[in-house]
A and B are shown apart, each in its own frame.
Chain A
Amino acid sequence: MPTKVAIIGVGHTAFRATSPGLSYKELMFEAATRAYEDAGLDARSEIDSFLTCSEDLAEGTSIFDEYVPDQIGGAERPVYTVSGDTIQGLATAYMQIASGIVDVVSVEAHSKASNVVTPGELHAFALDPIFVRPLGFNAHAMAGLEASAYLATTSTTREQCAHVVAKNRRNALANPSAAHAAAIDPQDVLSSPPAFAPLTELEVSAPADGALVIVLASEERAKKLKRQPVWLRGIGWSTGSGITSGTDGSSADYARSAAEMAYRMAGIGDPRQGIDFAEVDDSYSYKEPQHLEALGLFGPGRAGAATADGATARDGDLPVNVSGGSLGVGQLFEASGGQKVAEVVAQLRGEAGPRQLKKAKTGLAQSWRGIPTATGAVVVLSRD
């Protein structure tokens, strides 16, 4: 049996398109204050280790690790940065606890996207510098390429992808922390200006600012705290060679292999039986069905039609991105996966307010690190 580790506290700011009144340190401080209050722990004496998930270039500061301890309670304590998504940070926290060297770990992630004056240049800088970047195009076009291959390979339609956007932005209406809630219909998505065909402007998630902190603890420690623990049943992560490796260009193999690792640890044979609801990466419209299929929650090419039929709606058979997802809440750099984890925890605790699901015993959160990466992570959480 894998070592049991629980999430015992979650705190986050609201996610908003801009946050001109607060510095990133102040956003982090707010999230950390909320998380430690939620966990019932003292920041300076009851947390053994601290992690931040961030990329230097997105922060505008090299060796960003040096700028994170103070505002999360980690000064003169064990701290480092994971340059990956929040769920990769959770995996690191799990390992620290399972190794026995610490009992309680704080994992932080944030986005101050509105401070990036030239986001297109930042994004383009992630493209292969020799073979791709010299072509000088907007990096979102790589998603347009992948979308075209995914639609062609699976017979998923643009209308089905438009349903994903309308569903998630409407779901966000019930999430007061979401930056991009909107009462839109699939037709609005299809008739929005073309961006990276086949993707329209509304099919590309827009950035948002905010911070979140997730506190994890060993089983022994978790059982002594006031909070009902949410158990980390399985976690997995994977990086592939990218969409230009091989001749398909359409499958999210990183999500498949990350899920296999998480399901193995959680002892889940049929994910559709074992998972009640999911928060999956929806950075672009087509990513949600593509990821649902890679996660084994729908058969190949089936998730788009299921979405149009309402199977992934809040009252559907498998609710997906009830929080609003990245399309509704906002694209949050390395906090994107963390926002999904926070939603899964809220649902499992029965604290999701107007968007609370009736059946929420086991939930899944999945992240993707965006274009041009083939990196994904999956975590399975449950109430017992």
Chain B
Amino acid sequence: MGSSEQIDRVTDLRAWPGEFPVSHLYTMGIAGERFFRELKDNGRFLGSRCAACDHVYLPPSIFCPRCFAALDEWKEVGPQGTVRAVTTAHRGVDGTTLKTPETLALIQLDGADDLLTHRIKESEGLEIGARVAPVLKETPEREGSILDVRYFRAV
């Protein structure tokens, strides 16, 4: 011990509770606006391409992390894709066991060179390499959010 005293009765132990009452807005930005407007209005996925690196970014970006060029070439990708990683989560955010485990995947949408994280449903025994397609909300329900994609499922 660094100090010469110790608390030796557990009933003496005290702690003060606190929490963060903090809320944020996260600006979509130029690339985010493009992506989510296209998803909301037309149900399509938009990536951005760096010609020099021959890389299609998804989510799209207006800059290339590989060569640092400014990007202005938009490319429709998907909607189908290939599963590159898959997990089944048996625990929720609060750490408790989920009654219904949930499956998540990293999906390479056709034409994209990055991976999209999303939920998988209705796809028993899905493995890496499986082909999947998105299930979108109906147009009037879409609000320009990643949740406009309800989930992906095997095709």
Residues of B within 8 A of A (CB): 1-3, 6-7, 10, 13, 15, 17-18, 20, 24, 26, 28, 32, 59, 65, 84-95, 97, 101-102, 104-106, 108, 113-119, 128, 145-147
Contact = CB atoms under 8 A, between A and B. Distances in A.
Given A129-B24, A141-B104, A148 B87 contact: yes
Interface of A: 20-21, 26, 29-34, 57, 60, 115, 117-121, 124, 129-132, 134-142, 144-149, 152, 193-199, 241, 243-250
A109 to B, nearest CB: 16
Contact of A246 (B7, B13, B114, B119): B114
26 contacts: A20-B13, A21-B13, A60-B18, A129-B24, A130-B28, A131-B116, A132-B117, A134-B146, A134-B147, A135-B118, A135-B119, A137-B102, A140-B89, A144-B88, A144-B89, A195-B91, A196-B88, A197-B87, A199-B87, A244-B117, A246-B114, A247-B84, A247-B114, A247-B115, A249-B106, A250-B85
A68 to B, nearest CB: 15
Given A129-B24, A130-B26, A120 B92 contact: yes
B1 A30 contact: yes
Contacts of B119: 135, 137
B13 to A, nearest CB: 5
B68 to A, nearest CB: 13
A119 B95 contact: yes
Most chain A beta-carbon neighbours within 10 Å: one of B87, B101, B145: B87
A21 B7 contact: yes
Given A196-B90, A244-B106, A30 B28 contact: no
B105 to A, nearest CB: 7
B104 A135 contact: yes
A120 B95 contact: yes
B6 A21 contact: yes
A22 B93 CA distance: 28
A23 B146 CA distance: 41
Contacts of A29: 2-3
Given A115-B15, A148-B86, A246 B146 contact: no
Given A138-B93, A195-B91, A196-B87, A149 B26 contact: no
Given A21-B6, A148-B128, A140 B91 contact: yes
Nearest to B65: A241
A60 B88 CA distance: 30
B106 A141 contact: no
A193 B95 CA distance: 13
A199 B59 CA distance: 27
A152 B65 CA distance: 27
